[in-house]
Amino acid sequence: MDSDRLQNNTVELPSFKELVDRYHSSIFRLINGLVCNYHDAEDLTQEVFVKVYNKIHTFRGESELGFWISTLARNHSYNFLRRKKVLRFLSLEWLVSDQKMSFEDQSESNRFETHVESEETLAIIYKALQQIPYAYREVFVLSEIHDMSYKDISALLNIPIGTTKSRMSRAKEQLKMVLKDRGGEQ
Amino acid sequence: MKLTLKKGIHALRHVNPPKNMVSNILMEVDKRSRPVMLVQLQLATVMSVVLFCMSCVGYMMSVPTEDPLSLLDGVSTLSSDMTLDVLINL
């Protein structure tokens, strides 16, 4: 591989290493917020950057490079979750009570070293995020974790700004409700 | 444990990726883009075809070289004798 040079005739690009250095943390956090699992986020981030490397020739420079990578990351996470849902259905895990499943998910996320102040905090917020609809979750994560503007979120998700705003407010409302049920949010 | 939305957002914003992530990504891209991979794949295909051919030849060698129809001689005689017996008994 010639990782120092990215092939694109339209736009001048940084080296691949620079690109990974610059974006890997934010893309990892975005994916982590969307899939709510540290280990999956690690694998998916790696796959997204491999995709970036292979598809960089299709980048036309019409948007910012960060936005383009974020779009790839969002689509990749979405496909992953859809596949996981189908696999879960096929494996008949859905027959097991939701209570048990969420406990397993939580304990799995606890198993990994997350380098944050509290793994318990993460486990609770992951669980809360999983309890709200995906459409609200992605707007919330793109805005609050990935620092994207409503305009960019609307462009990425191909929805009007009004819809983005209303999804965001519902996401916050529902998350507060979920956390309140746990005795946290007042 | 009690948690506010603000604290939850703070936790998510401060999750750090694994320290070796950058090197892992670079290694993965390097591994996937190497033409050696393709050569190895082709070599594996050729090898499996050769092995298949060798096993076919081995199988054919193990089959008797006589005319297979000659093996049926006894059978046909037997069956004709039996037919005669049946006819005589009738």
At residue B61, the pLDDT reads 79
At residue A116, the pLDDT reads 45
pTM over 0.80: no
Instruction: Flag whether pLDDT at B71 surpasses 80.
Output: no
Contact status of A171 with chain B (Cβ, < 8 Å): no
At residue A4, the pLDDT reads 54
Q: What is the pLDDT along chain A (186 residues), one digit of tens a residue?
A: 544 556 666 667 788 899 999 999 999 999 999 999 999 999 999 999 999 998 888 888 888 999 999 999 999 999 999 988 777 766 655 555 444 444 445 444 444 444 445 678 888 999 999 999 999 999 999 999 999 999 999 999 999 999 999 999 999 999 999 988 876 665
Over the range B65-86, which residues count as b (16 or more CB within 10 Å of their CB) and which as e?
eeeeeeeeeeeeeeeeeeeeee
At residue A103, the pLDDT reads 41
Contact in structure between B39 and A50 (CB atoms under 8 Å): no
At residue A100, the pLDDT reads 45
At residue A86, the pLDDT reads 76
Instruction: Flag whether pLDDT at B60 surpasses 90.
Output: no
At residue B59, the pLDDT reads 82
B24/A46 CB distance under 8 A: yes
At residue A28, the pLDDT reads 96
Beta carbon pairs, A and B, within 8 Å: 107
- Mean local confidence (pLDDT), B63-75: 60
- Give A93 to chain B, closest Cα distance, Å: 28
Q: What is the DSSP letter of B69?
A: G
- Give B25 to chain A, closest Cα distance, Å: 5
B12/A145 CB distance under 8 A: yes
Q: What is the DSSP string of A71-116?
A: HHHHHHHHHHHHHHHHHHHHTTGGGS-HHHHHHHHHHHHHHS---S
The ipTM is: 0.75
Closest CA to A151 of A163, A138, A141: A163
